[in-house]
Structure 1
């Protein structure tokens, strides 16, 4: 098994590409060791020194380091070993059922926003090891709130991505959107 790595715009996140499905039924994020108990792989990654977050994309794993302490050159080999061990063990990726979105009926505007996010925004940010999720849309003010995950969460360029990229596109295709904001 050959696992490739790719840098992301966030210097504290490295993307690992195992060449196999990681989360084909939807991205998952683990922000601490307690959340990681849902996945044998996430649990093993949190056992590595200085791992502060794990994000499963469709075909990649984005690992966030604590930002202090070890360099990627010191962390990469143990993380690669944990990923390799997981795939060779045959253990499931998740112990629980995949997260299921319980969407109520969306308004026409919200459906349009979600479709644009899924078709244009999410594939682009996935290349950088992250994800953007719909949070809410206030139809009175036109404010769209989005949640950044993976490498996008805490990335120095995420604010620019939201304002220069996502907000501009949303305002162009969905005139009801007046502003885009990030929620934690």
Structure 2
């Protein structure tokens, strides 16, 4: 049985708070309710409307967002609301009634080449995970039923999962031309059956919850935080489109060096070192003048 945990996320609108879940609560659908009558097909939303300060309720794949009236401040009530949502879900409370949730969206999955010839990106038409995961062996993949199944293909070397896609890396014993269709259909069928892509507790076990990530970020020095923010804003979107990820590892103020970990299609990619030296390193040197001299890439 799933155990739900809720983390509180502020938004750019101070009247709206997101209560993020560690697992999906809808069939990849989104709902918006403006009052208790509109929420007749959502017992969870109806319960939330009994709180006098609730103005609107939004329910999506892995979060509930609530807009409040100005009669309270979120800081005074958000912990209680988070606990109420958590308790409701863990007591098998219904989020959306079957009548609303039966509108099934067919699963589509397409394969996309990446700059790394060993890696293919498989993109779905729905969100698959709420965090980033990389597995380099079947033993590491025990928290992901889908990755575990993929490792039963003898040519699969590693599996990277983020948002709505997987990047699968292969050994040279097979060519993508001959195995792409088989891998694609296996992934598509797995998703279509509604199975868990990763264990619902994976974020807690791997310390990937929003609170853990925020805690890790706050522990860094100011320059490290600046580097992370630059990577998040300028680098990650570009490498994600190629099926990869770059993760900050460390900053040494003595020799002004930065270490980053390459994941997914970036890991072991022939062009990654070139890209780092001529792109990311120059960007950090320009944006953080005098603070960064070199960037070192480590394959994940």
Q: Does 1:17 align with 2:123?
A: yes
Give the aligned partner of residue 80 of structure 1.
184
Question: 2-side partners of 1:107 and 1:172: how far apart?
Answer: 19
Give the aligned partner of residue 149 of structure 2.
44
TM-score by length of 2: 0.59
Q: Give the match's secondary structure for 2:202.
A: coil
RMSD: 1.3
Give the aligned partner of residue 111 of structure 1.
225
Q: Give the match's secondary structure for 1:55.
A: strand
Q: Give the match's secondary structure for 2:251.
A: strand
Task: Write the mapping of 1:82-101 to structure 2, written as runs, cut at 5 A.
Answer: 82-95=186-199, 96-98=201-203, 99=206, 100=208, 101=213
Question: 1-side partners of 2:179 and 2:157: how far apart?
Answer: 12
Give the aligned partner of residue 182 of structure 1.
297
TM-aligned CA deviation for residue 77 of structure 1:
1.8
TM-aligned CA deviation for residue 22 of structure 1:
2.2
Q: Give the match's secondary structure for 1:81.
A: helix
TM-aligned CA deviation for residue 20 of structure 1:
1.1
Report the structure number with the largest CA radius of gyration: 2
Retained in 1: the 8 A contact 2:133–2:161?
A: yes
TM-aligned CA deviation for residue 73 of structure 1:
1.8
Retained in 2: the 8 A contact 1:48–1:78?
A: no
Of residues 57, 60, 65, the one that matches 2:165 is 60
Question: 2-side partners of 1:106 and 1:62: how far apart?
Answer: 29
Give the aligned partner of residue 71 of structure 1.
175
TM-aligned CA deviation for residue 33 of structure 1:
0.8
TM-aligned CA deviation for residue 97 of structure 1:
2.4
Give the aligned partner of residue 108 of structure 2.
2
Q: Which has the higher contact order (CA 8 A, sep 6+)?
A: 1
Retained in 1: the 8 A contact 2:243–2:265?
A: yes
TM-aligned CA deviation for residue 180 of structure 1:
0.4
Retained in 2: the 8 A contact 1:49–1:75?
A: no
Question: Structure 2 regions of 5+ residues with no counterpart?
Answer: 1-106
Question: 2-side partners of 1:47 and 1:82: how far apart?
Answer: 11
Retained in 1: the 8 A contact 2:112–2:121?
A: yes
Q: Does 1:150 align with 2:264?
A: yes
Question: 2-side partners of 1:145 and 1:117: how far apart?
Answer: 12
Runs (4+) off by over 4 Å? none
Q: Give the match's secondary structure for 2:154.
A: coil
TM-aligned CA deviation for residue 27 of structure 1:
1.3
Question: Structure 1 regions of 5+ residues with no counterpart?
Answer: none
TM-aligned CA deviation for residue 165 of structure 1:
0.6
